[in-house]
């Protein structure tokens, strides 16, 4: 049976002499691994197998790895160069690490397309935080940002909370240690919106801590690439 879906390429690597192993992220089937036969030596006029270009893809087969039949463009690459490229690789790497194959997440797909557009338009940290929090929510991994994990009290912008990796925020009454996370940082992650430089920095650091147990010990390659790029040009951080 041939399946068809809107898709983006998350990752690709050589396979045998002329083919590629490609990880697709699709609207209806989630993450799909395919063999793109002959893609390393494409025919003239064939669609480039590159990330961030919306595609209509078809594939066949069974098992964990399918065979790509067609990949027709549905537009030009959303991101083509610059710092946004590295940040897009980070978003791709989150999907590769956190989303199992063949589990559909249509809301995540919609959020992914919106995030690529925001990155291309110059929005950086707020777009990444929105995507991270939304992805964790859809996967059932998100903490309760706006309520104490101990007593259920609402987090307020003025109070600092302690943070426990297994539970989430703890209000001053429930915290075994002095508050380390300002309430305004938790509300920023819960609701988005505007945040000053300090809130954005603290939100980034907290999100790293929240994601770390789910990503495992292997470093993210996208962070290594971004650090290398920033040696030549300052920019945002992940």
- Local confidence pLDDT in tens for the 238 residues of the chain: 788 899 999 999 999 989 999 999 999 999 999 999 988 887 776 777 899 999 999 999 999 999 999 999 998 889 878 889 999 999 999 999 999 999 999 999 999 999 999 999 999 999 999 999 999 999 999 999 999 999 999 999 998 999 998 889 999 999 887 778 999 999 999 998 888 999 999 999 999 999 999 999 999 999 888 888 777 665 556 7
- Cα(111)–Cα(54) distance, integer angstroms: 14
CA nearest 48: which of 73, 25, 65, 66?
A: 73
Strands across the sheet with 160-164, in order? 168-170, 160-164, 181-182
Identify whether the C-beta of residue 12 lies closer than 8 Å to the C-beta of residue 20. yes
Task: Tell me the C-alpha distance between 70 and 4, whole Å.
Answer: 9
| First-to-final CA distance of the chain | 40
pLDDT of residue 234: 54
pLDDT of residue 95: 98
Domain extents in the chain: 3-73, 79-238
Cα 69 from Cα 79, distance rounded (Å): 25
What pLDDT, on the 0 to 100 scale, is given for residue 161?
A: 94
> Which of 71, 76, 25, 70 minimizes the C-alpha distance to 53?
76
CA distance 64 to 132: 26
Task: List the CATH code of the domain at 3-73.
Answer: 2.40.50.140
For the domain made up of 79-238, give the CATH fold: de novo design (two linked rop proteins) (1.20.1440)
């Amino acid at each position: 049976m041939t399946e068809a879906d809107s898709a983006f390429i998350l990752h690709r690597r050589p396979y045998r002499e002329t083919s590629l192993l490609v990880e697709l992220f699709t609207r209806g089937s989630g993450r799909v691994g395919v063999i793109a036969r002959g893609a390393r030596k494409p025919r003239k006029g064939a669609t480039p197998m590159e990330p961030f270009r919306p595609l209509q893809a078809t594939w066949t087969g069974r098992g964990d790895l399918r065979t790509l039949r067609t990949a027709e463009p549905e537009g030009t690459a959303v991101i083509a160069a610059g710092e946004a490229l590295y940040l897009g690789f980070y978003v791709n790497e989150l999907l590769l690490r956190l989303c199992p194959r063949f589990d559909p997440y249509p809301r995540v797909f919609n959020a992914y397309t919106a995030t690529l557009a925001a990155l291309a338009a110059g929005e950086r940290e707020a777009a990444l935080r929105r995507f991270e929090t939304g992805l964790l929510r859809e996967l059932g991994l998100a903490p309760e940002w706006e309520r104490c994990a101990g007593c259920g009290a609402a987090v307020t912008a003025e109070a600092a909370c302690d943070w426990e990796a297994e539970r989430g925020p703890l209000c001053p009454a429930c915290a075994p240690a002095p508050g380390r996370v300002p309430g305004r940082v938790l509300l920023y992650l819960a609701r988005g919106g505007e945040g000053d430089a300090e809130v954005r920095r603290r939100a980034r650091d907290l999100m790293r801590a929240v994601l770390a147990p789910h990503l495992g010990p292997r470093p993210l390659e996208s962070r290594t690439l971004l650090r290398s790029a920033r040696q030549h040009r300052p920019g945002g951080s992940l």
